[in-house]
A and B are shown apart, each in its own frame.
Chain A
């Protein structure tokens, strides 16, 4: 594996002194990455003042002096739109930050006093640089493509085609069924089919709630819209047996053209994305929107599980030493977070936690094997509801959530029990849980955002660097 050199001498020095951390905020689209980053900056800027961060040890000990956004190393990448996010949240009525359409970077400098042996002496002032990036979650699922060739990818996509999903892809499937991959390629026809394929991905994502949609740029092409590199699609009903047969085809055949475009996509789009942004992390937080998936049914839930375990194979995990901290950083500590935990009542948090652990059971096993510490959290980056109780039946207090839905309706509801294990057929039949989208609570731009357990997650991810 090639070495990744730190970008300049200053970074090298900072990394030698272990004063720089790159935190990977990983999550599929709609998982809550942008909300998490906005809240993170907000909390750290208000740390020690009005932010409630009692579980973040250095804050509890009164050692954090504050945090500031500083100039990021790569000036050609847009800055993370923090101010815009805060503006949206503090507008009337409050709105969630805009969905992310491109990559942005953020560098935060955290000032703190180091811990001293004696309680009376003030420690030396120290500084930690935290590097973060935000990106569209759709693009993240391209990373696993790097390990596949075209034929393997086609097989993978065919496996994903459940009955329900076929329904969204019908126009594409009908058209591709009559295609003969050995024929010579017709540009017009390929463009038409690729458009149908992209349409089916859009539908699966937006109407069906599926997360495992590849390739990600088809959903959010950015500057690549209309370029031939995006005009490919998986062929159905291929198997290993076809490999030799197709290998002998001429270069202008449909199969070979699609294969070439696929490889080109990997080389020019996914490769640089991975190399520039995903190779140098020290810490990682994986954000998972379990609750929406739970609401969407068994098909989507299984799909999410598959997407996450495939995704997590794209990162380097392992214990660190000084040498690989400098030249080949690896993720040496990891948090797994069930986001939007303000959608459930407080007594459901333990269940949510064990559910997300069950969902990620496979990757967690691999991490244990690599001896990388993992912890699961249930968190809400920006808390939109308030927990209350109403008098239930039989003298029992029924916990409920109070909030405002996206349509502006005030509600008081109990969303249903979260299953503790991966839900079985019985659960889906009775469909206990209902996910209601809430509007953020009214907020003034100069205050700290309300949250659930951001402090505990930050303590796990950064606490040892702030000693």
Chain B
């Protein structure tokens, strides 16, 4: 963008041309022979999105140059060392040392590949976040962006959901209309699966915590279940997570939860308290289970909202209230079956 230009005065007798007729280009009627070759109007092919935006995930991205240098350096040095040892062993016919150095080289290669994979997966997560932003801001041709999104979600060209979307989409649809259709045909089935998964897994977590005998075990359970849930939701939207990207995402989800609007937290907390009140009617263990289940559910919903390629519209957004009752009912069942 240029800076807004300041006001400027011209004297009236300054020589001036006719009023410049810029920017209003009006194309007159054009007629073509009906026999002229014409093709059906197709939407433009998707251009490569290489937006300079680098607001990956929720927080500003900073490269860990130190860590990267350390890791990359040790790997390179390790490799050099292994090759060097091998050469000496070869010359000295020291077979044992040679075998060790081959093994060492192999180990270094493995570590390097792992590091590369991690970096690649992290990049994919960032790219997903960027694309999501571009679609949201209507940055470019919506249809092209959605096509890109389809590819990222790992859907083939003849995926039935995508085909249903293509069938519904018409040339004259505007950006908003196109996105509504995409959300309905491509995302809604995945949203439903994600929601089912959150319900199921939070219920399972609640029950596991309720019947587990050890507090330490509870904590391990929670960590394991929650990471697993985040993983599965990401997979639904075509994201495969590595260790680093999983942690990055998990951290982003937690930050996001912590910074969610104060009012939202307040209402959610009071509702939780209310259900805790109800939980008074449950045993302590079941009450703890309910708390953990709710936390898992909340985390799951938050992940869903963060990863879904298009933001939820007001009416579709999943709410925690629906899950709460289900959880409580499940836990009452546990209490009945397991008199303490």
Contacts and interface: CB of A to CB of B under 8 A. Distances in A.
Interface in A369-392: 378, 387-391
Interface in B155-172: 168, 170-172
Majority secondary structure, B binding face: loop
Interface in B1-52: 21, 24-34, 36-41
Given A55-B181, A346-B172, A415-B29, A390 B34 contact: no
A228 interface: no
A426 B26 CA distance: 10
Interface string A80-109: 000000000000000000000000000000
Interface in A402-420: 402, 410-417, 419
Interface residues of A, number: 40
B174 A389 contact: no
Contacts of A402: 34, 38
Interface of A: 52, 54-55, 60, 117, 119, 341, 346, 349-350, 378, 387-391, 397-400, 402, 410-417, 419, 426-427, 430-434, 452-453, 456
Given A55-B181, A60-B184, A400-B38, A390 B32 contact: yes
B268 interface: no
Given A54-B181, A119-B192, A390-B37, 11 more contacts: A341-B172, A389-B40, A397-B41, A410-B34, A412-B33, A413-B29, A414-B30, A417-B26, A417-B27, A427-B26, A434-B28
Determine the interface band of chain B, counting residues with CB < 8 A from chain A: 20 to 34
Contact of B38 (A119, A341, A412, A419): A412
Contacts of A411: 31, 34
B32 A400 contact: yes
B177 interface: yes
Majority secondary structure, A binding face: mixed
Contacts of B337: none
Contact of A54 (B27, B168, B171): B168
Nearest to B168: A54
A453 B26 contact: no
A341 B26 CA distance: 18
20 contacts: A52-B168, A54-B168, A119-B192, A346-B171, A349-B174, A350-B174, A378-B172, A387-B171, A390-B32, A400-B30, A412-B36, A413-B31, A416-B27, A416-B29, A426-B24, A430-B26, A430-B28, A431-B28, A452-B172, A456-B177
Interface in B207-256: none
Which of A390, A419, A434 neighbours the largest number of chain B CB atoms within 10 Å of its CB?
A390
B36 A55 contact: no
Nearest to B175: A350
B180 interface: yes
Contacts of B174: 349-350
Nearest to A409: B34
B171 to A, nearest CB: 4
A60 B34 CA distance: 37
B47 to A, nearest CB: 15
B314 interface: no
A426 B32 contact: no
A153 to B, nearest CB: 38
